[in-house]
Amino acid sequence: MGLKNYTTKVPANRSVQEIQEMLQKGGASGVVLEYEKGTGRIGGLAFKMEIGGKTAVFSLPIKWREAGKVMQREGNPKAWDEDYCYRVGWRIVRNWLEQQMALIEIEMVDMQEIFLPYAVQRDGKTLYENLLENPQKYLGDGN
């Protein structure tokens, strides 16, 4: 299956802006961007939202370099260009978020439910990261 959005010309900053707008409309109370040292690129995006009366932080995965590796494996001649991979990676995240927001709009799920794996826990890791490290703590025995 080919990587989506590999032909996008939409600048990454526009995708980030659209992501921020979707999160705000969905009920996020704040968005924080983390910049990569030396590149000025956005390497992380987190947002705040309430769960049960408490403010929770959710950290979205922004792995545009990994998208570039996939494009290289698929033989994409532009995959060596970091600006290109950055733009494509952010557009994919933007479109993924748009689909999540569509599920929320039709009330299949709520926003906290969709983003629960990305909830930052007391140790600074996401729930998903902690689950990977210690599945027996979070998962049943399968019966």
Between CA 45 and CA 34, with CA 28 as vertex, the angle to 5 degrees is 15
Quote the CA–CA distance of 119 and 113 in Å, as a whole number: 10
**Taking 90 as the threshold, does the pLDDT of residue 138 lie above it?**
no
pLDDT digits (tens, 9 = 90+) for 3-62: 677 788 999 999 999 999 999 999 999 999 999 999 999 999 999 999 989 999 999 989
Backbone region of residue 52 per phi and psi (left: phi > 0; alpha: psi in -120 to 50; beta: other values): left
pLDDT at 4: 73
Q: What percentage of the chain reaches a pLDDT higher than 90?
A: 76
pLDDT at 141: 82
Q: What is the CA radius of gyration of the chain?
A: 16
pLDDT digits (tens, 9 = 90+) for 94-118: 999 999 999 999 999 999 999 999 9
Question: Residue 32, SS3?
Answer: strand
Quote the CA–CA distance of 50 and 15 in Å, as a whole number: 24
Question: Residue 93, SS3?
Answer: helix
pLDDT digits (tens, 9 = 90+) for 64-79: 999 889 889 988 888 8
The pLDDT confidence band at residue 140, using thresholds 50, 70 and 90, is confident
pLDDT at 1: 47
